[in-house]
Amino acid sequence: MHNKTVAIVGATGAVGREFIGCIERRGIPLKQLKLLASPRSAGKTYPFRGENLVVEETTAAAFEGVDIALFSAGSGISKEFAPIAVKAGAVVVDNSSAFRADPEIPLVVPEINADRIKAHKGVIANPNCAAITTLVPLWPIHQVNPVKRLIISTYQAASGGGAALMEELEESTRAYLAGQDYAPQVVKYPYAFNLFSHNTAIDPETGYNDEESKVIKETKKIFEDQDIAVSATCVRVPVLRAHSVSMTFECERPISPEEVRELLSKAPGVRLVDDWVNNYFPMPKDASGQDDVLVGRIRRDLSDPTGRSISMFVAADQLLKGAALNAVQIAELL
């Protein structure tokens, strides 16, 4: 990424703006940063390193001379323009679901499988945000004592649905507190002081929604283990930008909470927040704006008498490690 020309596709969206912030905060020396978006956003300006960058329309010609293209404009745009960007000579790091399931395309979390980057053929997929949040703290354990079964429940923030859903949460909350009616625009259900099953389609055969299916499939692909048993319940909660996950996992051999804490205390991208005395554990308010995945509530799963199972709770910023930061880390490794 150093001294390269980098393009951000979807630069005016929630993740796109975080791409700009990540690059600036990390002090990455670039040759040029190009901001690309839809025709209606063309002409807008965003500050970057003391100057105002003008947003351009995403066209085939816009990728000329681009070395790395960071995409976060939805799967439709990725499917249309990623091949064009690659043909123009760029490496694409895509934040949508367009290419994640493709066995030929690496699905990368740098703390877990950075070596897969070398296998790219022009496109690298950024995983689902709930999958990243779950797997970064699970990987150090899996390496030492393989995880055979994983059950998660997610508490997913509005940011996962983009800037429009974040705005809907804020506006509907104001209306609720003022005693006013608010007709949902982005999701079907009232969002203020409410939570609901993740707003993606339900598979009529399994009963799992798309988000849950993504987490299950992506866990197997990232861990390169098709035998790991995974079940997920994904829920949208009235939080702006940090996802949380309650997880219980069963290892191949008995494992203690002390062993888990020791492993996670040294793990990259992880920060322990496990204060039993003060009942202080990972919270979205603390994870928001942070690069690390916060991990706590580490305890034995008392429903498993074999001693092979652990329960814990994690939280991570969906726009950072769940999206933009992970993609920028991939680009840095390129």
Return the active site residues: 129, 243
List Cα–Cα distances, 73 to 18, 77, 79, 236, in angstroms: 13, 6, 10, 21
CA distance 288 to 57: 30
| CB atoms near residue 302 (< 10 Å) | 8
Asked if 54 contacts 62 with a C-beta cutoff of 8 angstroms, the reply is no
Phi then psi dihedrals of residue 42, to 5 deg: -60, 140
Asked if 318 contacts 256 with a C-beta cutoff of 8 angstroms, the reply is no
Asked if 92 contacts 123 with a C-beta cutoff of 8 angstroms, the reply is yes
Handedness of CA 120, 121, 125, 131 (dihedral sign): negative
| Edge-to-edge strand ranges of the sheet holding 51-57 | 45-48, 51-57, 32-37, 5-9, 68-71, 91-94, 123-125
SS3 content of the chain, % helix, strand, coil (to 5): 35, 25, 40
Could you tell me which of 62, 70, 63, 119 has the C-alpha nearest to residue 86? 63
Partners of residue 107 on adjacent β-strands: 125
